[in-house]
Structure formats: structure tokens, C-alpha cells
């Protein structure tokens, strides 16, 4: 029986395609270790737009790994900040964690570590809103794959050493204020202007909703934004408003 299992393993290794070899090399470079189960990383880099049905009829994409990776990433960053800032309160820690793991930050890191070269998606719809978080979503799925493939301890080190330390300046994150919605509110109150944030449309897709938000100053639309949640859409709209107002 052991000989049969070994034979199947050898046949699997022999059947590796050039595409598999490129993915294996890329993952080894990004993660810092050779994958044990390459299938996990194939799944982690498969966007829902190119999902394949398995024998049970379930469409396999990186969404489940994304869910898992999001939880592991959040827990690791929370632990990292908790130890780094032993005298800071819960509000401070929560705010800094959200700035590290927000979609824009994860998209940036995903691009920088080279996910654009290995993620599979339907390029015909690259401009759609669901693809704006492509690299951030794939990064979370990758974290989920690393966790399942190498275990929590290795995954924890991967997040800190390969993602956080090289790409985040924690002191700069603390000094900056990317909460554009707060900026608009503060400006409007200072200038004695009325303001409002409105969700003007919600588009239902198969796997998600797409929100469109507007910022109104004195009942005039100043900025329009988009996002996969109301909060994200409002922040994007607030960013556009800040740019229009020179803030």
C-alpha cells in the first residue's frame, strides 16, 4: 500500500506542467518556502471569474481561502500591534489594524509581491468593480493557503517578515489620517457647511453587492465613490470630495 502511494506521488510529480513549475517557483519566492501542497496555491490564485466546477458541482475559486486568510491576517496583525504597543488602548489598536488590512493596502502589497503574475481571472472584465480588489483578495487567499500548507507558526512569520515589515511604515501609518470621511465632516463643520453621505445605488451581482455613494455639500454632489460595502463606497466618495475641495 505504501509503495502504491509512493508511486502515485511520483506520477503526480512527473505530471507537473510548465505552468505548475512557474507557480511553484513564484510561491517559493513570495513565501520563502517551497509549497508542500501546490493545489492550495492554484486555488488561492483562481479568481471567482474563472472558477471551475468540481465533481460535486461546486464552483472552486479562492473565495473560501480568502475568508480564512482574512481571519488569520487580522489575528496576526492584532497580535503584532498588541505586543508592539503595550500601553495603547483598544481604539488605537483597532484603527491601526484597519489601516494595515484595508483593501487598498492589501492591493498595494499584493501587487508589490508579484501576485499580478500568477493570479488567474477573466481579463475581459478587468475593469469591473469586483476586480478592483483583485490583488488584495488574492493576498488574503494566499495567506489562507500558507496557513493550511505550512501551519500557523510559519504563516505568522510569513505575514510579519514578508508582508508587514517590508511594506508598512507603522510610524507613518500612525501619523497619517486616511479617514477621508472624517476629514469631510471636520471641514464642513469648520466652514459651517451642511453635508450628507448618500448611497445612491446598489448593484446586486452573483457573489457580491456593489455600492455607489455620493458626498453632498450644501445639497450639491461633490464626490462619487464605489465599493463592495457601504463603508468602502462612502470612503471612496469622501476621497473624491477631498480631492475636489483641495483637502
Active site (catalytic) residues: 70, 140
- CA distance linking residue 159 with residue 72, whole number of Å: 9
With CA atoms as reference, report the closest residue to 188 among 163, 212, 220, 142.
Answer: 220
CB of 141 closer than 8 Å to CB of 66: yes
Beta strands 220-227 and 209-217 are: antiparallel
- CA distance linking residue 122 with residue 132, whole number of Å: 13
Written as nine digits, the cell of 82 is 498588541
The H or E element spanning position 150 is: helix 134-150
With CA atoms as reference, report the closest residue to 183 among 140, 237, 141, 227.
Answer: 237
> For the chain, what is the radius of gyration of the CA atoms?
21
CB of 183 closer than 8 Å to CB of 177: yes
Amino acid at each position: 500500500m505504501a509503495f502504491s502511494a509512493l508511486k502515485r506521488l511520483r506520477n503526480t510529480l512527473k505530471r507537473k506542467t510548465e505552468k505548475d513549475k512557474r507557480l511553484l517557483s513564484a510561491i517559493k519566492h513570495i513565501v520563502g518556502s517551497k509549497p508542500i501542497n501546490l493545489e492550495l496555491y492554484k486555488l488561492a490564485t483562481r479568481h471567482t471569474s474563472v472558477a471551475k466546477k468540481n465533481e460535486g458541482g461546486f464552483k472552486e475559486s479562492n473565495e473560501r481561502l480568502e475568508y480564512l486568510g482574512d481571519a488569520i491576517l487580522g489575528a496576526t496583525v492584532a497580535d503584532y500591534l498588541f505586543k508592539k504597543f503595550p500601553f495603547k488602548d483598544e481604539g488605537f489598536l483597532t484603527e491601526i489594524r484597519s489601516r494595515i488590512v484595508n483593501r487598498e493596502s492589501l492591493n498595494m502589497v499584493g501587487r508589490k509581491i508579484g501576485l499580478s503574475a500568477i493570479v488567474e481571472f477573466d481579463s475581459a472584465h478587468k475593469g469591473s468593480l469586483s476586480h478592483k480588489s483583485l490583488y488584495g483578495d488574492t493576498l488574503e487567499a494566499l495567506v489562507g493557503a500558507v496557513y493550511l500548507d505550512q501551519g500557523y507558526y510559519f504563516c505568522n512569520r510569513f505575514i510579519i517578515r514578508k508582508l508587514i515589515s517590508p511594506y508598512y511604515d507603522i510610524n507613518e501609518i500612525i501619523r497619517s489620517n486616511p479617514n477621508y470621511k472624517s476629514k469631510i465632516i471636520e471641514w464642513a463643520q469648520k466652514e459651517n457647511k451642511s453635508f450628507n453621505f448618500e448611497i445612491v445605488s446598489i448593484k446586486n451581482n452573483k457573489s457580491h453587492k456593489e455600492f455607489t455613494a455620493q458626498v453632498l455639500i450644501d445639497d450639491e454632489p461633490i464626490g462619487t465613490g464605489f465599493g463592495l460595502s457601504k463603508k468602502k463606497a462612502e470612503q471612496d466618495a469622501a476621497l473624491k470630495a477631498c480631492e475636489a475641495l483641495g483637502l
